[in-house]
Chain A
Amino acid sequence: MVRMDNIVKSFGPQTVLSGVTFEAREKQIFGLLGRSGAGKTTIINILTNQLKADSGSHEIGAPPFETGLMLDEDGLFPRLSCIENLDVFATIYKIPRKKALEALQNVELGGSEKKPVNKLSKGMRQRLALARAILHEPKALFLDEPTSGLDPVTAHGIHKLILQLRDRGTTIFLTTHNMEESVKLCDYVALLHGGKIVEQGVPTEVCERHNAMKTMPDMEAVFIKMTGEAAE
């Protein structure tokens, strides 16, 4: 469904990607892991044709209008309300307003549809960006660090939604530098380092290969249990 074959990309003298190859299968959550600046966003940019690779080939098994995108820069129209932001894309995709309202409900922004974007918190903006990305029920969804900077309850809500989307048949390609998130969500992961994929596989198998299975206190679960009932 989402494939990259021997992709090379340089910015001036700096080579960011040097022969990246991977394949994300249909209806799975594929996690691209790497440190900040490893080239994860560059890979999304190349896959979504916002950036040209120097060499190599890539493909998404869906046309651009059947892909959804959520980036760290949300691209929302700041003075328009939540529903007006979605209206712009609903008109483009020829989707009834009812669906836009449903998308807002799905990301728990049901009561904030008339709130201007510049009055929303970071977490609410992230959720609105996600609502816009899934508005047209895309076949492939690209999420660039979807929970970065969010509190555990909001992040948990977004995790739930991502899993629901996968269960409904969406192929999800997400980048993260949160390793716990990758284990919790991803069916398959690839580790990007030094411009190359240095490890890939099913998360538990990857951890087993590196003797990295461990049990540790889960403070996040406690936090969500104590504070997150409203978001459930």
Chain B
Amino acid sequence: MRSISAIFVKQARDALKNATIFIQFILFPIMAFVMTEMMAKPDPEIPNSMFAVTFGAMFAGMTPLTLIAMAIAEDKENKSLRFLSMAGVKPHHYLTGITGFVLIACAVVSVLFALIAEFSGMLMIRFVGVLLLGATASAALGATVGIFAKNQQSATALATPLAVMLALVPMMSQFNESVRRIAGVVFTVQMNVIFTNEPTASMAEPLLMICANIVVFVGLFVLAYKKKRLNS
């Protein structure tokens, strides 16, 4: 537990001092807020929640993936992992600390999105819950990328196209039937399905699909970890 909290605090301090990471946490909510105030609220045809929901889903799909991949790759590249391992920090403690911080920060930002969308009560809980499930899938994928990447540069090169694809696929699938059929298995598309359906509609199928994504990504991570190890 001490190791996890040490890594959690280290990651929190680092995020506050790392402009690249800090911007990722504030950029999406700021964009959602500005567009809601400037475009959605003056136009009665645009729902007030539209931009918060869109940017929220993009945030959950992109941010944990890139942040976790970069954090792991940087600690590997700087050889910090080696010193942590010598101090008795187990790989699962390290990963729990890093992922824990990113998911808690994502939860805070998700609440901001819910406030911008003017959700309250059960609607807010549902929205934040779905964003966090999406963030968990994204985090598992990020950890896999972090394990494969030799350094920060290769982590960025791997994570950025994946993150952009995850963010854009829901939008693309709205315009193209073939993309919609294929991309239906991607968690960001299923998040979009939940958010665009009526709040009273059943969420069972899309939630199942998101959970299946998490299972697949965790499986991929386990395979990657067995092959490459954290400190290789």
Give chain A interface residues in 37-51, CB to chain B under 8 Å: 48, 50
The answer on a CB contact under 8 Å between B82 and A75 is yes
| Dominant SS among interface residues on chain B | helix
Docked CA distance A50–B85 (Å) = 9
Decide yes or no whether B17 CB sits under 8 A from chain A.
yes
The answer on a CB contact under 8 Å between B87 and A75 is no
Given contacts A77-B10, A77-B14, contact A92 B80 (CB under 8 A): no
Docked CA distance A79–B20 (Å) = 12
The answer on a CB contact under 8 Å between A91 and B6 is yes
Decide yes or no whether B173 CB sits under 8 A from chain A.
no
Decide yes or no whether A180 CB sits under 8 A from chain B.
no
Partner of A88, one of B6, B79, B88, B231: B6
Residues from chain B with a CB closer than 8 A to the CB of A94 are 2
Residues from chain A with a CB closer than 8 A to the CB of B78 are 73, 75-78
Given contacts A77-B10, A91-B5, contact A64 B79 (CB under 8 A): no
Separation in Å of the B8 CB from the closest CB of chain A?
Answer: 10
Residues from chain B with a CB closer than 8 A to the CB of A80 are 10, 13-14, 17
The answer on a CB contact under 8 Å between A65 and B87 is yes
Count A/B pairs, Cβ under 8 Å.
65
- Quick one: which of A71, A74, A77, A93 has the most chain B CB within 10 A? A77
Residues from chain B with a CB closer than 8 A to the CB of A132 are 83
The answer on a CB contact under 8 Å between A76 and B87 is no
Partner of B83, one of A65, A75, A78, A84: A75
Decide yes or no whether A116 CB sits under 8 A from chain B.
yes
The contact string, 1 if C-beta is below 8 Å from chain A, for chain B 53-91, is: 000000000000000000000000011111111111100
Given contacts A87-B9, A88-B9, A92-B3, contact A71 B79 (CB under 8 A): yes
Separation in Å of the B172 CB from the closest CB of chain A?
Answer: 36
Docked CA distance A10–B63 (Å) = 42
Docked CA distance A65–B86 (Å) = 7
Chain A minimum-CB-distance residue to B80: A75
Chain A minimum-CB-distance residue to B3: A92
Docked CA distance A67–B86 (Å) = 8
Docked CA distance A64–B85 (Å) = 9
Residues from chain A with a CB closer than 8 A to the CB of B87 are 64-65, 89, 92-93
Which of the four size classes fits the interface of chain A?
20 to 34
Chain B minimum-CB-distance residue to A84: B13
The answer on a CB contact under 8 Å between B9 and A91 is yes
Which of the four size classes fits the interface of chain B?
20 to 34
The answer on a CB contact under 8 Å between B79 and A79 is no
Give chain B interface residues in 1-57, CB to chain A under 8 Å: 2-3, 5-7, 9-10, 13-14, 17-18
The answer on a CB contact under 8 Å between A92 and B6 is yes
The answer on a CB contact under 8 Å between A65 and B88 is yes
Docked CA distance A116–B2 (Å) = 24
Residues from chain B with a CB closer than 8 A to the CB of A91 are 2, 5-6, 9
Docked CA distance A92–B98 (Å) = 15
Separation in Å of the A216 CB from the closest CB of chain B?
Answer: 37
Chain A minimum-CB-distance residue to B77: A73
Chain A minimum-CB-distance residue to B93: A92
Chain A minimum-CB-distance residue to B86: A69
Residues from chain B with a CB closer than 8 A to the CB of A69 are 83, 86
Separation in Å of the A2 CB from the closest CB of chain B?
Answer: 15
The answer on a CB contact under 8 Å between A73 and B9 is no
Chain A minimum-CB-distance residue to B6: A91
Given contacts A73-B79, A87-B9, contact A79 B17 (CB under 8 A): yes
Separation in Å of the B7 CB from the closest CB of chain A?
Answer: 8
Sample of 13 more A-B contacts, CB < 8 Å, known A76-B78, A79-B17:
A48-B86, A50-B82, A64-B88, A65-B87, A65-B88, A75-B80, A75-B83, A79-B14, A84-B10, A92-B6, A92-B87, A92-B88, A94-B2
Please give me the 8 A-B residue pairs with the lowest Cβ-Cβ distance, nearest first: A91-B6, A75-B79, A79-B17, A75-B83, A73-B79, A75-B80, A88-B10, A65-B88
